[in-house]
Amino acid sequence: MKSDPALQLIVPPRMWAGFRQAMLASRFNQGEVIGFLFCTRHRVSPRKWRLLPKAWVVPTAECYEHQSMGGLALRQSFHWYLYKTYIERGLDVVHVHTHPHCNVPRFSAIDDYHEAEYARFLSRLPGRLRLVSGVFDERMTQGRFRAWPIKPDWQPGPAALSTKILEILDADCADGGREFACAARFDRQRAFGLGVQESLGAIAVGLVGCGGIGAVFAEQLARLGVRRWVLVDPDVLEETNLNRLPCATPQMAARRWPKVRYVKRLIKTAWPAGSQVTSLCLPIEDRQAQRRLAACDLIVVATDNHRSRMLAQELALRYLRPLVSLGSHLEMDEACGSRRMLCRVTIPPVDGGWCLCCGDVVDATLAALEVAPTALCSIVSAAGYLPGIAAPAVYWLNSCCASLGVFVIHGVISGLLDIESGLDWVVDFGCRKWLEVAHDEQPDCLYCSVDGLLASGDSSGGFEMRPMESMPAMASISTQSTSPLLAGAGENANEARHIGAGFAKEEQER
Ligand SMILES: [Zn+2]
Ligand SMILES: [Zn+2]
């Protein structure tokens, strides 16, 4: 029997906490409870998928027809609400229900029956929607997931849940994790723990920008123990870079080495064996570059322009990946007496709230100007709106910024640093201050809100509405699926048919 591609459900920590709390709060009279996550897809590779929740719903007491220790059934009007609000828009369905007691629960025969029916119902809708189901103990601490296949004769496959930031999603890709972590080269950083070293060895980092900050960052993080890299930068090495790139030589500049090739050399010097480095001498606009970056555990952007930072942010929001933005700013204007020496590390919350765009870290106008035709750029530049391309840059400032970035990653993996609500640090060398920038939540942001790009996955963005004419009539849905009833619901097939009939009836009345 053919097995289905491996499936991962990515739920950001704050979302999972909210969902779990709502599940626990909706438990009445010790009854079972159910909750839903509606998801977009991220096709990581031909054999690997991720589901990204766009929204979650936990029904309140009024939504249940009955709710007991023996099972549950939802009102038809609630099913209809879910259908119209989420399913019809082409979102895959994840449902989670609880079983009484605190053991690791197993799916029951009733679950099997109803879930298979529901999966069949979803698979016949436009977009061939998927069902992933989860069953948890009554405290929502232990559970398991399974992914229902599109083909009815296939068996459900395993599905994994990830609810942590920087959780290693492809642990199988990193060979010999424990052996690696025990290597003598990590003797002096063993204080952080063997598990931390193992995670560093397994994590895949996508780095956009391999210049002054990116190169130092990669060198340090590789030495710390990160071996899996995707490097993206379309630029080549020039003589003017030699003041701040570690181990860069005049020969490399003369031969115009791509910066990704040079950074790959840095990583390979630290890791002659046992590392995987993909170097893409491409702009971040490139689809291949975006696909490779989205599959990483973490995206780091260290470029010198607004446009690429904005695109990295879009990618991170779309695929629910953590984003680390590293930047430095050096301004020495003797005439005006202005001296600014800043470096900034920004990590917006992975599940939205604020982002580089609404948090004033990147400027959308400048980002647009950066790709404007040269003629327009020179007019704008003459008017003083566009900063010069060749901004001043110095090794020590870049290196401080890169080190802070490395610390943040090490800190998160070690559990020393919490970035669930994001982080934004500015070190102001001119004023001798380390500032923590606070951000307000921006629920209307076009980028980081649910109505924006957040968790859009591979879909074209936003809440994708499907045209009505491509929908089958509701009556045919109810005959195709005898039961839009959900897992754990109902004790017998008669009840399922009753609910199915109700589904059709409601349509006829419309
Ligand atoms: Zn935003
Ligand atoms: Zn059940």
Query: What's the CA-to-centroid distance between 348 and ligand 1, angstroms?
Result: 9
Output the pLDDT for position 172: 57
Query: What's the CA-to-centroid distance between 149 and ligand 2, angstroms?
Result: 19
Closest ligand (CA of 112): 2
More confident residue, 447 or 510: 447
Beta-sheet pairing, 298-301 with 204-208: parallel
For the chain, residues classed under CATH 3.40.50.720 are 171-419
For residue 304, give every residue at least 6 positions away whose Cβ sits within 8 Å of its Cβ, in sequence order, or none.
Answer: 209, 211, 327, 391, 393
Output the pLDDT for position 336: 75
Query: What's the CA-to-centroid distance between 111 and ligand 2, angstroms?
Result: 5
Tokens of 335: 């005439």
Please state the rounded mean pLDDT for residues 386-414.
Answer: 89
CATH number of 171-419: 3.40.50.720
For the chain, residues classed under CATH 3.40.140.10 are 6-165+462-509
Output the pLDDT for position 169: 66
Kindly report the pTM of this predicted structure.
0.86
Lowest mean pLDDT among 91-95, 399-403, 463-467: 463-467
> Three-class SS string for 56-73?
EECCCHHHEEEEECCEEE
Tokens of 489: 């619901």
Query: What's the CA-to-centroid distance between 184 and ligand 1, angstroms?
Result: 44
Strands, sheet with 423-428, edge to edge from the N-terminal-most edge strand: 276-280, 228-232, 204-208, 298-301, 323-333, 338-347, 423-428, 433-436
Per-residue pLDDT at 495 exceeds 70: no
Per residue in 56-110, pLDDT (tens digit) is 999 888 888 887 777 788 888 888 989 988 999 899 999 999 998 778 889 999 9
Per-residue pLDDT at 478 exceeds 70: no
Closest ligand (CA of 355): 1
pLDDT band per the 50, 70, 90 thresholds, residue 377:
low
Output the pLDDT for position 363: 81
Query: What's the CA-to-centroid distance between 110 and ligand 2, angstroms?
Result: 7
More confident residue, 178 or 24: 24
Assigned CATH topology for domain 6-165+462-509:
Cytidine Deaminase; domain 2 (3.40.140)
List CB-based neighbours of ion ligand 1 within 5 Å: 355, 358, 442, 445, 447-448
Query: What's the CA-to-centroid distance between 490 and ligand 2, angstroms?
Result: 10
Q: Positive or negative, the Cα torsion across 91, 95, 77, 493?
A: positive
Distance between CA atoms of residues 200 and 226, nearest Å: 5
Distance between CA atoms of residues 300 and 313, nearest Å: 10
Per residue in 124-149, pLDDT (tens digit) is 998 899 999 999 999 999 999 999 98
Please state the rounded mean pLDDT for residues 305-331.
Answer: 95
Query: What's the CA-to-centroid distance between 128 and ligand 2, angstroms?
Result: 24
